Amino acid sequence: MKRVLVLLAISLPLFTPPAFGRVPELNIKALCEARSADAKRAHSTAGQTTAECEHDEEAAKQQLNTLWTSTSASTRDQCVSEARSLGTTSYLDLVTCIQMTDEIKSDEKKRTSSK
């Protein structure tokens, strides 16, 4: 029983819609270390250091904090769901997704209003 409760407590944030709260909390250090490890496995010499990755993710988190409240819940949910399903959840990915989705919606509104 205790094991089930622990598993539930760990997995619940994965299934809780982020739109009901704040910007998702990501472990930037672990994310950047995983990226670095992936680059090493792929024998890639190009790329960022872990410190540069962490700096960029922190900057993206600040930008996402600004965007989050002005972004529709459906867009936020869509971006978080897509990132999780692809296994690429990062603040940079979320900012990019929100910006691209907003741009697409804006372009669609322009096209429909000009008809």
Q: Is 96 exposed, middle or buried (0-12, 13-18, 19+ CB in 10 A)?
A: middle
Check the CA dihedral 60-37-78-5 and report its sign.
negative
pLDDT at 80 over 70: yes
Q: Flag whether 22 is in a domain.
A: no
pTM, two decimals, is 0.71
Measured CA to CA, the distance from residue 11 to residue 74 in angstroms comes to 22
Question: pLDDT class for 48, splitting at 50, 70, 90?
Answer: confident
Is the distance from CB of 64 to CB of 93 less than 8 angstroms? no
Total domains present in the chain: 1
Question: pLDDT class for 101, splitting at 50, 70, 90?
Answer: very high
Is the distance from CB of 35 to CB of 53 less than 8 angstroms? yes
Q: Flag whether 10 is in a domain.
A: no
Q: Flag whether 5 is in a domain.
A: no
Q: Flag whether 31 is in a domain.
A: yes
Q: Flag whether 75 is in a domain.
A: yes
